[in-house]
Structure 1
Amino acid sequence: MKRLLRPLFGHVARRRWVHLILGGALAMPYFLVGTVIVGAVQGSEDVFTTFPLQLASFAVALPLAALTSPFPLTRPMSVAAVRALCGVDGDGLADGPARTRAAKGRCAAWFTLHLGLGGIVSGMTLSLPPFAAVLIVIPVFPGLRDMRRDLLQVLQEPWALALAPVAGAMMLVVLAACAAGCGALLARCAPALLGPGPEDRLAAAEARAADLAVRNRLARELHDSVGHALSAVTLQASAARRVLDSDPEFVREALAAIEDTTRRTVGELDAVLGVLRADDTPGKAPAPTLAADLDGLLRRTRASGAHITVGIEVDSESLPPMISREAYRIVQEGLSNALKHAGAGGQVPITVQLVAAEGQLEITVENPMEAAPAAPGARPGGGHGLRGIADRARLLGGITHAGPVDGVWRLSVRLPMKGPEGPEGREGPEGREGPEGSEGSV
């Protein structure tokens, strides 16, 4: 029995019934305006007591509701009510006001349908239960038959009086069935009328793409900053431990480099994580650039024992801030990649070249490819360093190549010093990472 009555009186049906009654409440102001219009046209003051005039007033009210539906809060409020009361999956509904003509038309259709069905069900809810209650109890209270003799003369017959409770109960069931059917109809129409249109899906896709771009940028910053710092600190500590007794001066330099590296990395980490804080408060440490910290980067890397040869044929002070910042990260990642293959002693020669030619900044980082034991801080299988470099270069309109060339591992990046040429940048055939590039990533 409960299974049969659940679709009519279950919690889903009850909540949808409440949603319909809310629609009837929203329809009431329009209905009152409709009674004024119908009364003025008919020249009658008995609109509220004449059923045909009430129907005419309701018919006038629905177009008035449709005309006011473009109000910006109509769709957000309707969607909130549907999600809370109709049991509709929220992912199938649009957020925010309707902006296009098609979306406004669908919203108007929903608003009119909700108020129309809500007004009908609300009227039935107000009128049928009292009448049904009278029918159910009238056999027990004969005084009710005397009071309603003018309306219930048929109940004076014994057979009609006996069937009155059944008729009253059936009225309540019919009312519940109408409410459940109208509620199910609204729940079925909600995704079509309140769901996202092409413009909403495009806006959501753009928002997701922007969020993904921010996440990828943060991941690159964390990888390049923290990854390089950990690799350098590990090699510096390893080198200092080996010469602790024989070369105290080198140990002091290594410890000073470790202190400087960790302090700067903590500041950069705070700046990156500041973007993720709830209050969106940016960190205090500015992003490093070639002009600000290239010498410090080279000094801290040399403290691990690496032999770095640098050739600079560009005025780093004249570079655009974005190019200078991304070029710094590319050099940093190139050094980290070389340190991975430094071996246990960390004694690897590294060549860094920065050249400005034909409006482009060419960055080259080379290190030998002789077989050597893995560095203490190296991670098995590599990481995502070269992929991050390729992403940075592509977003600036540059190209990247990484792989073995004449017995050395060469990372070559070219960046246009005027920024990207288009929203997606450009990438030549040699700029795509192949299997060689993946093997050398950190």
Structure 2
Amino acid sequence: MRGFWRALFGRRARRRWIHLILGGALAMPYVLVGSVVIGPLTGVSDVFTSLTLQLGSFAVGLPLAAVTALFPLTRPISVAAVRALCGVPADALADGPPRSRAARGRTVAWFTLHLGFGGVLSGMTLALPPFAVTLMALPLFAGLRDSALALPEVLHHTWALALTPVAGAAMLVALAGCAAVAGALLARWAPVLLGPTPADRLAAAERRAADLAVRNRLARELHDSVGHALSAVTLQASAARRVLDHDPEFVREALAAIEDTTRRTVGELDAVLGVLREAGDPASTAPAPTLAADLDGLLSRTRAGGLRVQADAVALDPAALPPLVSREAYRIVQEVLSNALRHAGTSLTLRLARDGDDLLITAENPLPPHPPRTRPGGGHGLRGIADRARLLGGTTEAGPERGSWRVTVRLPLKASA
């Protein structure tokens, strides 16, 4: 019994009833337009004095509602109302205007059903409760019976008058039952008529993929730029501390490298975090580092950390590289140097060469006798290098080779297209 009353008068049922009344309110302008048509056709000046004419006005107004449902904002507004009042899971409904003819047709069907069911239930909600309350009060108030016009003959019998409260309560329960059934039907049909179409699912998947790509790009840029800078600054400061008393010239060079590294990294960090800024914020003007702009500076800052780097550019002019390839190659070289600073310890040989239509980056350093322990949360450097190469259509190979650790990256020079 408790479940029965909850189904009729529970919170979900009440909210769905409100949704139906909202549909009735939306139907009223169309009913008024329908009355303008029905009145002249029937020769009646006031169609609202007849239930038949009111239903006729309602029948004329619904097709007009179906036409206006073709406006793009109809589906977003309907979906918002269903999510708020009908208890339908949010992911079962589509977002945004319909994208296809079939989706527009389903939106028209939903809007017409909502206004049709809502108009009927709103009329019942306005008419039945006062009548039911009057029936329930008839046995208690003789004046009410005397003032009531044209009471049915049967109500003059005592037994019939005693049953009027039961009839009034039954009418209210029946009204609640009709509202609950209509609300449940609309809630069941909502995912079918307002649910995402294949085009909506594809658009949502594309949005998620774009968001994921931005997040991955942000994580990769932060790891490569800030991670390299912190590693370099840490090693530069450590080297300067060890020789502070007997090699002041090296200390000055290390401090200058730390200053330059942090200054550049702040600019790069501002550029990377610009991805997170809102549309109204001014964009960062910090240029993305490239091989042509900062390869020598990158090598010099790395050497200041104590790593001996031998770099050769074979038949290659960094300034002639496509900007996209030059930028990604800079990040790859930066990550290679950062890994060598953390793990190799002493020296690294870097070679940049043009191999046909490809840029070939090769880095080799001796394996340490006791490999350092991997820090918690580390281990993303080689994965980031591989991701950058793959996005440009290139390849990456990394691993031990004859007592050395060797990284080979091949980037197509036509990747900027």
Question: What TM-score results when the alignment is normalised by the length of structure 1?
Answer: 0.89
Contact 1:121-1:179 within 8 A present in 2 as well: yes
Does residue 404 (structure 1) correspond to residue 400 (structure 2)? The answer is yes
Letter paired with 2:330:
Y
| Cα shift at 1:128 | 0.4
| Cα shift at 1:208 | 0.3
Q: Aligned match of 1:323 in 321, 325, 330?
A: 325
Contact 2:364-2:406 within 8 A present in 1 as well: yes
Distance in 1 separating the partners of 2:15 and 2:153: 38
Q: Aligned match of 2:358 in 353, 357, 360?
A: 360
Question: What TM-score results when the alignment is normalised by the length of structure 2?
Answer: 0.94
2:215 maps to: 215
Partner of 1:305, secondary structure, is coil
Partner of 1:84, secondary structure, is helix
Does residue 86 (structure 1) correspond to residue 86 (structure 2)? The answer is yes
Q: Aligned match of 1:336 in 335, 338, 341?
A: 338
Distance in 2 separating the partners of 1:380 and 1:162: 82
Letter paired with 1:163:
L
Distance in 1 separating the partners of 2:99 and 2:4: 43
Question: 1:153-200: per-residue Cα shift (whole Å, max 9, x none)?
Answer: 321111111111111111111111111111111111111111111100
Contact 2:395-2:409 within 8 A present in 1 as well: yes
1:426 maps to: none
Identity in percent: 71
Q: Aligned match of 1:379 in 365, 375, 389?
A: 375
Partner of 1:70, secondary structure, is coil
2:293 maps to: 292
Distance in 1 separating the partners of 2:216 and 2:126: 58
Between stretches 412-421 and 259-268, larger displacement belongs to 412-421
Contact 1:341-1:372 within 8 A present in 2 as well: no
1:114 maps to: 114
| Cα shift at 1:47 | 3.2
| Cα shift at 1:381 | 7.9
Distance in 2 separating the partners of 1:323 and 1:288: 11
Q: Aligned match of 1:390 in 382, 386, 392?
A: 386
Letter paired with 2:354:
A
After superposition, the Cα gap between the structure-2 partners of 1:248 and 1:374, relative to the gap in structure 1 and judged at 3 Å, is farther
After superposition, the Cα gap between the structure-2 partners of 1:419 and 1:33, relative to the gap in structure 1 and judged at 3 Å, is same
Question: 1:79-132: per-residue Cα shift (whole Å, max 9, x none)?
Answer: 111111112221211111112011111111110110010011001011101111
1:173 maps to: 173
1:65 maps to: 65
Partner of 1:367, secondary structure, is strand
Contact 1:312-1:354 within 8 A present in 2 as well: yes
Partner of 2:70, secondary structure, is coil
Distance in 1 separating the partners of 2:19 and 2:371: 71
| Cα shift at 1:223 | 0.5
Long gaps (5+) in structure 2: none
Contact 1:24-1:116 within 8 A present in 2 as well: yes
| Cα shift at 1:280 | 4.9
Contact 1:397-1:420 within 8 A present in 2 as well: no
Q: Equivalent residues in 2 for 1:13-412 (5 A)?
A: 13-45=13-45, 47-278=47-278, 279-313=280-314, 314-342=316-344, 346=345, 348-372=346-370, 374=372, 379=375, 382-412=378-408
| Cα shift at 1:211 | 0.5
- The RMSD of aligned alpha carbons is 1.9
Contact 1:145-1:155 within 8 A present in 2 as well: no
| Cα shift at 1:14 | 1.5
Partner of 2:105, secondary structure, is helix
Question: 1:236-274: per-residue Cα shift (whole Å, max 9, x none)?
Answer: 122122212221111111121112112211221122122
Letter paired with 2:393:
G
Letter paired with 1:360:
D
Between stretches 37-46 and 115-124, larger displacement belongs to 37-46
